[in-house]
Amino acid sequence: MVSLVKLIRKLPFMDLRKYRKADFLPDLSAAGAVTLMVVPQGIAYALIAGLPPAMGLFAAALPVIIGSLFRSSRHVITGPVNAISVLVGASVIAETTGDPVQIALSLALLTGLMQVAAGSLRLGALLDYVSRPVLLGFTTGAAVLIAAGQLPNLTRTGNESGNLINRLYGWYSHLGGAHLPSILIAISTAVVIIGIRRFWPRLPAATVAIIGTTAMSMTMGWSEMGIRVVSDLTPVPRGFPSLTIPTVANITQLIPLAGACTVLSLVETSAIARSLSIRTGQRISISTEFIGEGLANITASFFGGYPTAGSLSRSTLNHGAGAKTRLAGILSGCMVILVLVFFGNLVDYTPIASLAGLLFVVAYNLIEHHEIRQVLNSHFADRIAFTATMLGAWVLHLDQAIYLGVGISLVLFLQRLRVLAIREIGFDDSGRPREVTRQPEAGSSVKQCRSIHLVNLEGSLFFGAACQLESALDELIREPSLKVLILRLKRTQHIDITAAHVLSDIANQLRQQNRTLILVGVQPAALRWMGRTGVADQIGRENLFPTMPGRWFRALEASVVRALEKTGKHACGDNCPLHEWLRARKNT
């Protein structure tokens, strides 16, 4: 019983015990602003997902309340978002047989369970492998798909499912039956939203535009003029969201898509939480964010919603409108429920063309022109990850596009990681160490010992770099004059058993030829690991020199002394640059 009480006290929403009355009005005001934004957004995003408009509102009601209660951030607002809506619409509704509503409910349940598991297992670090170019490529591809998906609603013509090319061709083939009033309504809505945002940025532009067209639809009888409204799709039910039970039999087929929804939702949510925490100074637990978002998705699956994520626009508005605590998010969810109970019949009159105009603006705003230019001017790996993900979004299932982008990022990351910098070290006229190339330039004054080769390694000594390491060392030890090979490991990281076997094999090969391998600058943790695995004994503990505190090159000095002891009188004689370097070090 005592442990249960302690557990309850650690729940995120327990910070409301210290709630101040002075915070209520700012929280209430912020909740009202978020609600004005989410109502038109929820309907529009459900339209993107190919779901009944009410599901967008259901996803913005109870899931928002649960998410606000159980996440660590006080300002992140969950609910329907554009990227997840495109993922659901393109990959489930268009391509999967079965009832779209039940598929969406099951998808929300699976996504929620995966997110709770990820939070419980503290897998937040895995999201670091989803690079920004992958997300940028996905959102750019999704933006184009959103716009293409709304073209039939713009012209009130037939549409086609499938990839971007099929959609555009299907829309073009039906263009002869375009409905001019619908086109004018969509364009007017987009112009009004853009105008309000430019000249009156404090007003909720989307809400004003949608309320205006809805009012005109009611008073002028637009539905009788052939203009489609929300009720023509599915009327918004009145009242509290009813209990729904996911019943899709082939739920296992949704696991890959649920994994993509999980990754995308968690990446967006954690990025928003971190961004807001910088402004507020609040400490964020990414694992708690995962669990809170997962519980919100599970709630959505049982109360008529579809997969949710943290919303950048609504979370930023929530913070900017003065929200002080997580109560603002809770109140926003309650207000959406009030809209469903008392104003659901008004939503039915919203013109579909007007929502299409809103979504064209949303699609344009999703394209981050500045960031795209940055990526295209960046490294080759970033350009490939961005381009492949964007093109994948247009020709593949969107979940496959995400996995494609992540896979490319990982491959290119490992490709960069496996590159080792292997450079020999010589000494200039003043006795200072200098890196040299295998073919020194004419007139170079850098001197090297012919019997003792000093080599600097820089990079990660893991299995991916083992082949490169082995080839480089094989080339070095072919020189017949070589007696001792000193490898300086101070700038290496992550040595694993594969790379260690390469080093021990080289040491054994040199030992059989009465030659020696010495490792210098070994990090203490790596030295302990070598001792546990037996690699230290294979190389010879007397030939391992860990980093030493104090003067620079202290460990290198000790290793050079050891090398000179092993070689004795050698080809360089008394003019050996290593002898000169040691004498210079002693004098300083």
Tens digit of each residue's pLDDT (9 = 90 or more) over 363-392: 888 788 888 998 888 888 888 888 988 898
Q: Contact 300/306 with Cβ under 8 angstroms?
A: yes
Q: What share of the chain is helix, strand, coil (3-state, %, to 5)?
A: 65, 10, 25
- Using pLDDT thresholds of 50, 70 and 90, give the confidence band for residue 188: very high
pLDDT on residue 237:
81
Helix runs in 303-326, H state only: 312-320
Report the C-alpha gap between 339 and 239 in whole angstroms: 9
Question: Looking at per-residue confidence, does 29 or 296 come out higher?
Answer: 296
When mean pLDDT is compared across 7-11, 27-31, 461-465, 578-582, the lowest value belongs to: 7-11
Report the C-alpha gap between 368 and 72 in whole angstroms: 28
Q: Contact 372/386 with Cβ under 8 angstroms?
A: yes
- Using pLDDT thresholds of 50, 70 and 90, give the confidence band for residue 431: low
Q: Contact 115/270 with Cβ under 8 angstroms?
A: no
Q: Is the pLDDT of residue 80 over 80?
A: yes
Question: Looking at per-residue confidence, does 136 or 328 come out higher?
Answer: 328
Q: Which residues pair with 427 in a beta bridge?
A: 433, 447
- Torsion angle, alpha carbons of 106, 108, 114, 118, to 10: -170
343-352 in b/e form (b: 16+ CB < 10 A) is ebebbbbbbb
pLDDT on residue 326:
93
Helix, strand, or coil (residue 379): coil
Mean pLDDT across the stretch 315-319? 83
**Distances, alpha carbon 342 to alpha carbons 58, 243, 349, in Å:** 14, 19, 14
pLDDT on residue 95:
52
Dig out the tokens for 329 from the structure: 């998010």
Q: Which among 79, 33, 36 is positioned nearest to 58, based on CA atoms?
A: 79
Determine the length of the chain: 588
Q: Which among 177, 176, 195 is positioned nearest to 187, based on CA atoms?
A: 195
Report the C-alpha gap between 195 and 185 in whole angstroms: 15
Element (H, E) at 487: strand 484-493
When mean pLDDT is compared across 373-382, 406-415, 432-441, the lowest value belongs to: 432-441
66: amino acid identity, one letter: I
pLDDT on residue 333:
94
Report the C-alpha gap between 110 and 258 in whole angstroms: 6
Report the C-alpha gap between 518 and 473 in whole angstroms: 13
Q: Is the pLDDT of residue 330 over 80?
A: yes
pLDDT digit string, tens, across residues 193-249: 899 989 988 788 888 888 899 889 888 888 778 888 888 877 888 888 888 888 766
Mean confidence (pLDDT) of the chain: 83
Exposed / middle / buried, residue 365 (Cβ in 10 Å: 0-12, 13-18, 19+): middle
Mean pLDDT across the stretch 134-151? 83
Question: Looking at per-residue confidence, does 302 or 150 come out higher?
Answer: 302
Q: Contact 71/295 with Cβ under 8 angstroms?
A: no
pLDDT digit string, tens, across residues 97-129: 678 888 899 999 999 999 999 988 888 767 766
Contacts of 424 (CB under 8 A, 6+ apart): 435, 436, 437, 438, 448, 453, 454, 455, 456, 476
Q: Is the pLDDT of residue 332 over 80?
A: yes
Dig out the tokens for 22 from the structure: 């002075």
- The side-by-side arrangement of strands in the sheet containing 421-427 is 433-436, 421-427, 452-460, 484-493, 516-522, 544-546
Q: Which among 34, 31, 43, 84 is positioned nearest to 348, based on CA atoms?
A: 43
Q: What percent of the chain is modeled with pLDDT above 70?
A: 91
pLDDT digit string, tens, across residues 449-501: 888 888 888 888 878 788 888 888 888 888 888 889 999 887 887 788 888 88
Dig out the tokens for 297 from the structure: 């998705």
Report the C-alpha gap between 442 and 211 in whole angstroms: 79
Report the C-alpha gap between 518 and 514 in whole angstroms: 13
State the residue for tokens 């008394």: 574
